[in-house]
A = this chain, B = another copy of it.
Amino acid sequence: MSAHPPASEQDWLAAYDPRAFAPVAVTVDVVALTLRAGRLAVLLVQRAEPPFQGHWALPGGFLRAGRENLAHAAARELAEETGLQGTDATAALDRVHLEQLGTFGDPDRDPRMHVVSVAHLAFAPDLPAPTAGTDAAAAAWHPVDTLDLPATGDDGRTPLAFDHAAILGHGLDRARAKLEYRPLATAFLGPTFTIPELRAVYEAVWGEPLHPGNFHRKVLSVPGFVEPTGTTTDRGGTRGGPRARHYRAGPAHLLHPPLLRPGREQRNP
């Protein structure tokens, strides 16, 4: 068969079994975000093999053809590369929110061949430190503010492998936007939490302080966002203050009205 059939032969291509001519691989990558010590962090693995040996990369791997769908592949890769595969770890992973982020398929994004990567976005509560998988030299949570995106690599640090810096940038944008109208911030917290803890999630993801009083009012005014448990914290904050009430996530899937980020009206690109 011809290596470069002319443009008019797309019907010819479609009539044949693509496994005979289409050297395309499909991988799944995961932008897994969590809160570590009050800072937004992303899970990265250090590549043990070429290409990009020694570089940090998003966890991911090849889709198992014919045996799993994309969401399952993403969940499997996340479990494998965090080392969270025990019974209690499975319970922790059940609390993870996982959604598709986008698909990246430039022909030269992988030097080996044409690899189409379906990126996913995961919001996780504070997971234990990851253990490196067999094809990785290390795995760790990295605070995103020290990655200094999108200029990663310009100041001497090793840049992320492949186009993973761009994928991570998309994931952060999506996470910041999605917190406005979906109750996903609770996915970063335990089963119960306080309003100030919820506010800390928003401040960490958005990277700016929020007005405590207004945030409190808005969260409680959204129907189904949080519901009180009736209990409070055992003691006040480390620097004083009254005890905070406990809440749990409510049944809402959509925040109405949304919690909008401050100061996003004056810039129009």
Report A's interface with B, CB cutoff 8 A. 4, 10-11, 13-15, 17-19, 22-26, 49, 61-63, 65-70, 80, 100, 102-107, 112-116, 118, 133-135, 223-224, 251-254, 256-257, 264-265, 268-269
Contact = CB atoms under 8 A, between A and B. Distances in A.
Copies of the protein in its oligomer:
2
Contacts of A107: 65-69
A164 to B, nearest CB: 16
Nearest to A81: B10
B264 A105 contact: no
A268 B223 contact: yes
B103 A70 contact: yes
Nearest to A109: B69
- Looking at A19, A106, A264, which has the most chain B CB atoms within 10 Å of its CB? A19
Contacts of A252: 268
B105 A63 contact: yes
Contact of A65 (B22, B67, B133, B253): B22
Contacts of A105: 26, 63, 69-70, 118
Given A10-B80, A13-B62, A268-B223, A116 B19 contact: no
Given A22-B62, A70-B104, 4 more contacts: A14-B62, A22-B65, A26-B116, A256-B268
Nearest to A112: B17
A133 B118 CA distance: 29
Contacts of A49: 14-15
